[in-house]
Amino acid sequence: MIAVAAPQGAVRFWGLALLGSAALAASAQVALPLWPVPATLQTLVVLLLGALGGARFGVATVALYLAEGAAGLPVFANGTGGIAALAGPTAGYLVGFLPAAWLAGHAGSGWRRAGAMLTAAHLVVFIPGIAWLAGFVGIERAVVAGFIPFIPGTVVKTALALVLLRMLRRG
C-alpha cells in the first residue's frame, strides 16, 4: 500500500473549507419564503467566510458549497440540491456568492474600508442574481421581486457582518 501524505496546510485549508461550506448550508436553511427567491442568512456567512479567511479561502469555500449542491446534496435553501437548483431562479445569486466572497476577502481592518468592502460584496450578489432571474420573470419584476425586498435585510446582514468581524478579529 502506498500512502500519499497531503501537506498539512492543504488539509487544514480544505478541512476549514468543508466546515465553512457546512455553515453556508446551514445558513441556507434559515429562509423566509419570498417569491421567487427566498431570503436566507447565506450572504452573511459568505461575507464572514471571505472576510475572516481571505479571498482565496472564501472563494474556495463557496466553490465547494456549489459543488456539493451540484452533486445533489441538499445544501441550498429549503433543502434543495442538484443541477436543477443551479438552473432555477436562484442560480444567479448562488454564483454571485463567488465574487462576494472574493471582495469580502479584501475587507481590511479599518471600519470604513471593511464597511465599504462588505457592502460592495453584499451588493455584488445581486448583479448576477437579478440578471439570471430576469430570464425567468423579466428585468422589471426581477428588480422588484429579487432586489427591493432584500434591501432591509442586506443592510442588517452587512452591519452584523461588520460587527461580528470586528469581534472575531479581537478575540
d(CA 20, CA 132): 26
Q: Residue 76 has which C-alpha cell?
A: 441550498
Give the pLDDT score at 132.
Answer: 98
- Residue 166 or 132, more confident: 132
CA 43 to chain centre: 4
d(CA 32, CA 27): 12
**pLDDT band at 130; cut points 50, 70, 90:** very high
Q: Residue 62 has which C-alpha cell?
A: 463557496
d(CA 69, CA 34): 21
Rg (the chain; Cα; Å): 16
How confident is the model over 71-117, as pLDDT tens digits? 999 999 999 999 999 999 999 999 999 999 999 999 887 888 899 99
Once rounded to an integer, what is the mean pLDDT over residues 40-65? 97
Instruction: Determine how many CB atoms are found less than 10 A away from the CB of residue 7.
Output: 8
Once rounded to an integer, what is the mean pLDDT over residues 27-56? 96
Q: Where are the domains of the chain?
A: 41-170
Instruction: Find, among 161, 141, 58, the residue nearest to 103 by Cα.
Output: 58
Instruction: Determine how many CB atoms are found less than 10 A away from the CB of residue 111.
Output: 10
Give the pLDDT score at 153.
Answer: 97
Is pLDDT of 156 > 90? yes
Cβ atoms of 29 and 66 closer than 8 Å: no
Q: Which CATH architecture has domain 41-170?
A: Orthogonal Bundle (1.10)
**pLDDT band at 169; cut points 50, 70, 90:** confident
Cβ atoms of 86 and 94 closer than 8 Å: yes
d(CA 149, CA 28): 18
Cβ atoms of 47 and 121 closer than 8 Å: yes
